[in-house]
């Protein structure tokens, strides 16, 4: 089974997506997600100019060898552009292998370890009252785990506070917008938000929160301590993720469970965090880790140390990335939870998929391969539109992690 064609499809059904479609000489094709929010065309160019010529003629069945060839062969390994491109190739090859053998990819990964995949949704509001009401709406839809983010008095455009009810999309068309930030103001509201949420909904629902890499270790420790009685499922990205050592300090101060890793690309980015058991959940998804092959290396390492997965699943990860994540989620022993931000109807129409939501769980379905397709005619109706994530500044104008 030789690769005869590899095509990069860029489309924007509500937001930008980059998809790689690989076709073999026996007519089987597979797809992979290569979307990197705000830097999409860098990955598209990396694929078209540097990867596609290497794929033509290769054995589509040799997934691990292709992974090693592209990872080590480049010499310049890791980094989000390289690894998003490698992720797309790898997903497409697993899709092809599943289709060629007539089985869903989770069967190739050892078969299901669970009946379905626990997911968390995103509730947010301009203030505590609105956010509490939004959590209630997710519970009414059947969710058992909800992430809660609230607006902060005195700050405009806070991370995680959306413009629509179900769809949170931080990237905006045109050049980047700028937000203003104060960690001190943020810390004034978050403990109270979770106190009110527990008072309103009790302890039977899992509650999560994302700090989005904005706190110092000491600020995060303070917050982690204040949240202990609210028993969060996790506090995510408390500190800038580049600093693995920050987690030693944080961990020694709080028993609030910790998650990190959506911006990591390999096991090397989290080896200290995992081996020292400084985190509870690793969030690096197949779309960033070099596909299913890459994420298996991280998940396997994490399993050894009792760290569970909680893959990133924001709207900038296309339904192709979601389908790939769900295949892994269903199969691995140390699955924890899967983030699930719903895509818009236009996106779902361009990427028809087999995965289904019921009572707070997703199931990847039993179709052969990943269980997702791209409707290329529909995709062609939505050309790329330049869009960026916002840039963040402190109240005095200093650039701060967004
Ligand atoms: C999350 C993430 C996202 C990111 C987004 C950037 O936890 O879902 O933090 O909301 O901000 O994926 O492109
Ligand atoms: Mg996050």
Mind listing the pLDDT tens digit for each residue in 51-82? 999 999 999 999 999 999 999 999 999 999 99
Supply the pLDDT for residue 368: 98
**Nearest ligand 1 atom to alpha carbon 168:** 10
Is residue 316 within 8 A of residue 35, CB to CB? The reply is yes
Q: pLDDT class for 157, splitting at 50, 70, 90?
A: confident
Q: pLDDT class for 160, splitting at 50, 70, 90?
A: confident
Supply the pLDDT for residue 165: 65
**Predicted confidence (pLDDT) at residue 354 exceeds the cutoff of 80:** yes
Does 36 contact ligand 1 (Cβ within 6 A)?
Answer: no
Q: pLDDT class for 169, splitting at 50, 70, 90?
A: confident
Residues known to be catalytic: 159, 212
d(CA 286, CA 282): 12
**Nearest ligand 1 atom to alpha carbon 314:** 8
Residue nearest to atom 5 of ligand 1 (CA): 314
Residue nearest to atom 10 of ligand 1 (CA): 314
Supply the pLDDT for residue 159: 83
Question: Which ligand gives the minimal distance to the CA of 316?
Answer: 1
**Nearest ligand 1 atom to alpha carbon 212:** 9
d(CA 277, CA 272): 8
Supply the pLDDT for residue 341: 95
Mind listing the pLDDT tens digit for each residue in 188-201? 999 999 999 999 99
Q: Which domains occur in the chain, in start order?
A: 3-104 (3.30.390.10), 108-367 (3.20.20.120)
Q: pLDDT class for 158, splitting at 50, 70, 90?
A: confident
Supply the pLDDT for residue 277: 98
Instruction: Report CA(212)–ligand 2 centroid distance (Å).
Output: 6
Does 259 contact ligand 1 (Cβ within 6 A)?
Answer: no
Q: Mean pLDDT, the chain, as a whole number?
A: 97
**Cα dist from 290 to 46, 54, 58, 76, 321, whole Å:** 14, 16, 18, 14, 11
Residue nearest to atom 6 of ligand 1 (CA): 37
Q: pLDDT class for 163, splitting at 50, 70, 90?
A: low
Instruction: Report CA(161)–ligand 2 centroid distance (Å).
Output: 12
Instruction: Report CA(179)–ligand 1 centroid distance (Å).
Output: 16
Count CA within 13 A, CB hemisphere, residue 283. 20
Supply the pLDDT for residue 322: 98
**At 362, which helix (H) or strand (E)?**
strand 361-363
**Nearest ligand 1 atom to alpha carbon 38:** 13
Percentage above 90 pLDDT, the chain: 96
Does 294 contact ligand 1 (Cβ within 6 A)?
Answer: no
Mind listing the pLDDT tens digit for each residue in 316-343? 999 999 999 999 999 999 999 999 999 9
Instruction: Report CA(236)–ligand 2 centroid distance (Å).
Output: 6
């Amino acid at each position: 089974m030789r690769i005869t064609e590899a095509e990069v499809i860029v489309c924007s059904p509500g937001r930008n997506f980059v998809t790689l479609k690989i076709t073999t000489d026996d007519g089987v094709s597979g797809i992979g997600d290569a979307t990197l929010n705000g830097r999409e065309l860098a990955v598209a160019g990396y694929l078209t100019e540097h990867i596609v010529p290497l794929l033509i003629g290769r054995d589509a069945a040799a997934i691990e060898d292709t992974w090693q060839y592209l990872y080590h062969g480049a010499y310049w390994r890791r980094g989000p552009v390289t690894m998003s491109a490698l992720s797309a190739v790898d997903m497409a090859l697993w899709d092809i292998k599943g289709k060629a053998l007539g089985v869903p990819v989770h069967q190739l990964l050892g078969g299901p370890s669970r009946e379905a995949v626990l997911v968390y949704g995103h509730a947010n509001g301009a203030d505590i009252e609105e956010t509490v009401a939004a959590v209630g709406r997710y519970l009414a839809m059947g969710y058992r785990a909800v992430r809660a983010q609230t607006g902060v008095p005195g700050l405009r455009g806070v991370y995680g506070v959306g413009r629509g009810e179900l769809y949170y999309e931080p990237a905006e068309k045109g050049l980047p917008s700028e937000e203003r930030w104060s960690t001190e103001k943020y810390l004034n509201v978050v403990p109270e938000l979770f106190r009110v949420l527990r008072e309103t909904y009790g302890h039977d629902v899992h509650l999560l929160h994302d700090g989005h890499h904005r706190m110092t270790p000491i600020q995060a420790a303070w917050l982690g301590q204040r949240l202990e009685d609210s028993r969060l499922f996790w506090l995510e990205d408390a500190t800038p993720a580049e600093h693995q050592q920050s987690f030693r300090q944080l961990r020694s101060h709080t028993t609030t469970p910790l998650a990190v890793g959506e911006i990591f690309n390999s096991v090397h980015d989290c080896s200290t965090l995992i081996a020292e058991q400084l985190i509870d959940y690793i969030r690096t998804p197949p779309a960033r880790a070099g596909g299913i092959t890459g994420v298996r290396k991280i998940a396997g390492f994490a399993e050894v140390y009792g760290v569970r997965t909680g893959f990133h699943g924001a709207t900038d990860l296309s339904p192709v990335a979601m389908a790939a994540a769900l295949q892994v989620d269903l199969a691995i022993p140390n699955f924890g939870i899967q983030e699930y931000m719903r895509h818009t109807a236009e996106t779902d129409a361009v990427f028809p998929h087999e995965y289904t939501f019921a009572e707070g769980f997703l199931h990847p379905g039993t179709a052969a391969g990943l269980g997702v397709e791209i409707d290329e005619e529909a995709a062609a109706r939505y050309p790329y539109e330049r869009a960026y994530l916002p840039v963040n500044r402190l109240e005095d104008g200093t650039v701060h992690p967004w």
